[in-house]
Amino acid sequence: MAIEPGAWERFLQEARARARAELPLQSSGTLTRLTGLVLEASGLRAPVGSQCTVQMPGQEPVLAEVVGFAGDHALLMPAGDTQGLSSGASVVPAAPYVPVPRLGEPPRALLRGSVLRLPMGAGLLGRVVDAQGQPLDHGGPLAEVAAVPLGRGQINAMERDPVRTPLDTGVRAINALLTVGRGQRLGLFAGSGVGKSVLLGMMARYTQADVIVVGLIGERGREVKEFIEDILGAEGRARSVVVAAPADAPPLLRMQGAAYATAVAEHFRDQGQHVLLLMDSLTRYAMAQREIALAIGEPPATKGYPPSCFARLPQLVERSGNGLHGVGSITAFYTVLSEGDDQQDPIADAARAILDGHIVLSRALAEAGHYPAIDIEQSASRVMHSVVSRGHLELARRFRALYSRYQKSRDLIQVGAYVPGTDPQLDEAIRLQPQMAAFLQQDMYEAATLEHSVQAMAQLLDASP
């Protein structure tokens, strides 16, 4: 490889500059208090977001992050088990990352402070990692990865391409009536046990995407392996990256897991690939932030959620979407738990306002054996009119009208109070009801392409797409 003239001189100058650079003195602190989830250290001078280690003689150090301060006391949130810590433990900032200068590369600024860096790269494909980038699948160390800062700058909204291209999810009800656009962000709203994970697995297997990133945040540990082996399957796992931070992980790691999954999706998007991001769940992310905020003394606002929870949600969600000038995209599905099937839950209400659509799963449909249990009447895709033809849009509008007409008159029909011939539109809805119900149902191992979904809907309504 030819070295351009002057490269040696620039390399030596950069090496000398780094050798003469005055690194800031890293102050260490002393653990003075442990209350609930919060560690308090005196004498520590570290900015918010810095990584620190709490060290006790004869024990493994505990990683912690500075989340606030009060006077000369720093407040830290542990990322590990605090069992065995005692007053007087040493709190030391993590070593700053110093990039190694390489011949022929442009000079890089010397990074100061303890910046959180996690593995990114093609070596993550097919792997299952935790919120700190450590493999969980016993597949050996990660290869073809590099340590990259977790935090990223915001993308100018005027530099993003609008959502204009339809995305085939493989789910007939979504393709036909809630068509998704590439780069769209949707919420999957449901209570517990109505088929959210199965629907996510269907989309992971059948969606047209180059890379799939799955974030399992705050879910039961048992569900992690079941989702990967039974729902995601070998085909879906081969092109997927799974980041797991189960319910027993500290709140800091649950939040970090969601941020890490989003950063991995951003990494592949920046390479021009189309990414499908599945986050389960956004509510657990907000709950982790609530635990941290309440622990450091932030006052609760709406149903126990501090204001910082509602500020964190858009910061996470806005990172997905289309890349700069149409290069790469992240189509994101976030599951949102509705406590007691209440769609007015504060987190569900806040998520609905910042997402580009919502898919509501009905417990009544699930109890009736209707899967996927998508409530068409309450669901909406805000970009469907921009990604489908006028004929497709008219078919979906007509299907919705007939389906809704039957549901509103269902009680009258079942008790025999309705006289056929009174309402021609309702008569048509009654005639088509069995076909419409069958159209909306789909086996989890069955794929339905976008084109075939529209053709089936047109055939059902005796129209042409």
d(CA 94, CA 145): 21
DSSP structure string for 256-301: HHHHHHHHHHHHHHHTT-EEEEEEE-HHHHHHHHHHHHHHTTPPP-
Lowest mean pLDDT, pick from 108-112, 293-297, 316-320, 335-339 = 108-112
d(CA 262, CA 248): 21
Average pLDDT for 408-431: 88
For 228-285, how does the pLDDT look when each residue is reduced to its tens digit (9 = 90+)? 887 777 777 888 999 999 988 999 999 999 999 999 999 999 999 999 999 988 999 9
Backbone φ and ψ for 104, nearest 5 degrees, come out as 95, -15
- The pLDDT of residue 460: 94
Q: Which domains does the chain have, with CATH numbers?
A: 36-93 (2.40.10), 122-385 (3.40.50.12240), 392-462 (1.20.1270.330)
How is residue 80 written in tokens?
């590990």
Res 102 pLDDT > 60: no
Alpha helix ranges (H) inside 67-210? 172-177, 196-206
Lowest mean pLDDT, pick from 45-49, 125-129, 227-231, 401-405 = 227-231
Indicate the angle between helix axes 424-440 and 390-408, nearest 10 degrees: 110
Cβ atoms of 203 and 234 within 8 Å: the answer is no
d(CA 462, CA 221): 48
d(CA 439, CA 402): 13
- The pLDDT of residue 391: 94
Lowest mean pLDDT, pick from 24-28, 204-208, 455-459 = 24-28
Res 452 pLDDT > 80: yes
- The pLDDT of residue 244: 94
Res 97 pLDDT > 90: no
Average pLDDT for 88-95: 86
Total number of residues shown for the chain: 465
Helix, strand and coil in the chain, % to nearest 5:
35, 20, 40
Backbone φ and ψ for 293, nearest 5 degrees, come out as -65, -45
- The pLDDT of residue 107: 45
d(CA 382, CA 332): 14
Cβ atoms of 238 and 126 within 8 Å: the answer is yes
- The pLDDT of residue 230: 79
Per the DSSP assignment, residues forming a β-bridge with 69 are: 74
